Structure formats: structure tokens, C-alpha cells
Amino acid sequence: MRLAKYLSSRGVASRRAAERLIQAGRVSIDGATVTDPAHSVSGGEEIAVDRALVPPQQPPVVYAVNKPAGVISTASDPQGRPTVVDLVDSPARLYPVGRLDIDTTGLILVTNDGPLAHRLTHPSFEVPKTYRATVARAPVHEAAVGALRAGVQLDDGRTAPAQVRRLGPASLELTIHEGRKRQVKRMCEAVGHPVRRLERVAIGGLSLGRLKPGTFRRLSDDEVAALLEDPSGLQQ
């Protein structure tokens, strides 16, 4: 990895600011000053900025969290509200993969693995996410289900077709891959059934399983590898 990118990944500075630090002779590797931002590093070196050691890069970790209502999907909050990162007992510097609304519960991942986070959140990868919704104005008729399956018109455009099945008169399971803001809530409201409760139960093939609200578990190496290789193909 290039030195400037490494410093940026460790939170020292932005990529451009890190380049300026290096060019100014303020960065050393194993005691020797380096002025080339493209200098290659493995992360195992002793790297210092203004003689202060940069903490070594931590191994990638990924945790599945069952987010309760009232917890926000950020790494920190200036208002002091609880975050999903607060729920995970880990020494790693973590951040959430995507987000859930404050009143939405269920599966969210937190990690220090940038490539995995990008793989799961960038729209081009179309990672499916499955939700269970309890809705108002029951029962949900076939016309509403058919509209959700075909795609509905929202204020930011028509949605892609969703996989939908009825679990009960007022309960739906929807799988989408677009990830627009409040998409499931807006889709259900568009067909006449505002959401009263929403839970995410799967990301790709990784399911919430028996994880209790407010708890977490670390994903195995095999699970992480499967998410990177094929986010929709992991079986749980």
C-alpha cells in the first residue's frame, strides 16, 4: 500500500493532507525520513508522524449486530445517543456498514474492513437485503403485493422489482437491492400500507438468525470471505 493511503486509512489525515505531510519530511519509516507519498509499506513497519508513532493497522474484523430501536447507525453521535458501535466489545476502530433508521431493528454489520464495506454498500454490487415489516391497514391484498413485486413509483424514481411474500394479514417480507433512503417504508406507504415496525433479517445470504437484540457476534473467516466473493450466496 502507498504510504499516503496507509496514513489516510489509519485516520492520520486525508489522502492529500498525508501527501503534504510526507513531502514536508514529517514522516519516518523505521527511523528514516521518507518524502515520497507513493513509497510502499506493508503496515508492519514502525511509521511515525512528527516522531509520534502511528498505531499499527489492525487485522480486519466484521461483527453482526442486532440493532434495537433507539440505537443509531453511526460510529459516534454528538448528541450522546447510543450507537451500533457502542454495542460491540472490540478494541478495533469500527464503523457501521450502511445504516438502519433509528426505529428500525435488526441486522447491521460493523467492521474495520473498508473493501468489505464498499462491496456491501455500493449500488453497483446490488447486494440484496431482506426486511420483515408490520404494516397498517391490514389485510394486505394481492394488488399491493403485486405492485411491490413490479416496482412502485417514488419521488426519486421507480423502484426495481422486489421479492415479496405475505407472512400474515399485516406482515410482509421484502427483499430489495437498491438501498435508497427509507426505501421499504416508502414502498409500503406507496401501496397503502404504512410501516408500523421494520426489522432487517438478512444481508445477502447472511441472516440475523438467533442473535438477540442488542447483542453481536464476530463473523467467521469463511463468512467474511463468502460476503466478499458473493454477497448473495452465503448460507446461514
Domains of the chain: 3-53 (3.10.290.10), 62-123+206-229 (3.30.70.580), 128-203 (3.30.70.1560)
Give 130-179 pLDDT, tens digit per residue.
Answer: 999 999 999 999 999 999 999 999 999 999 999 999 999 999 999 999 98
- If you average pLDDT over every residue of the chain, what do you get? 92
pLDDT band at 217 (very low <50, low <70, confident <90, very high): very high
Residue 231 pLDDT: 64
Q: Which of 73-77, 79-83, 104-108, 231-235 has the lowest mean pLDDT?
A: 231-235
**Residue 235 or 212, more confident:** 212
| Mean pLDDT, range 227-235, rounded to an integer | 63
Share of the chain above pLDDT 90, in %: 74
Q: Give the burial class of 88: count Cβ atoms within 10 A of its Cβ; 0-12 exposed, 13-18 middle, 19 or more buried.
A: buried
Provide the grid cell at 196: 408500523
* 5-9, 45-49, 228-232: least confident range: 228-232
**What is the DSSP-derived secondary structure letter of residue 72?**
B
Give the global pTM.
0.79
Tell me if residue 50 is catalytic. Answer: no
pLDDT in tens, 97-115: 999 999 999 999 999 988 7
* C-beta contacts of 96-103 below 8 A and 24+ residues apart: 97/121, 98/73, 98/179, 99/73, 99/74, 100/67, 100/73, 100/200, 101/182, 101/185, 101/198, 102/69, 102/70, 102/71, 102/72, 102/73, 103/69, 103/70, 103/198
Confidence of residue 236 (pLDDT cuts 50, 70, 90): very low
% of residues, the chain, pLDDT over 70: 97
pLDDT value of position 235: 44
How confident is the model at residue 122, as a pLDDT?
Answer: 84
Q: Residue 118 and residue 111: Cα distance in Å, rounded?
A: 11
Helices (H) and strands (E) in the chain, counts: 6, 15
Mean pLDDT value across residues 83-93: 93
Q: Has residue 12 got a pLDDT over 90?
A: no
So what's the pLDDT on residue 230? 65
Torsion sign across C-alpha atoms 170, 209, 152, 69? positive
Q: Which residues contact 156 (CB under 8 A, 6 or more apart)?
A: 180
Cα gap 87→67, rounded to integer Å:
9
Count the Cβ atoms, other than its own, within 10 Å of residue 192: 14
The H-assigned helical ranges of the chain are 3-9, 15-23, 114-121, 142-150, 183-190, 221-229
**For residues 181-197, average pLDDT:** 97
Candidates 30, 36, 77, 101; catalytic one: 101
Q: How far is CA 230 from CA 2, 22, 32, 222, in A?
A: 28, 38, 42, 12
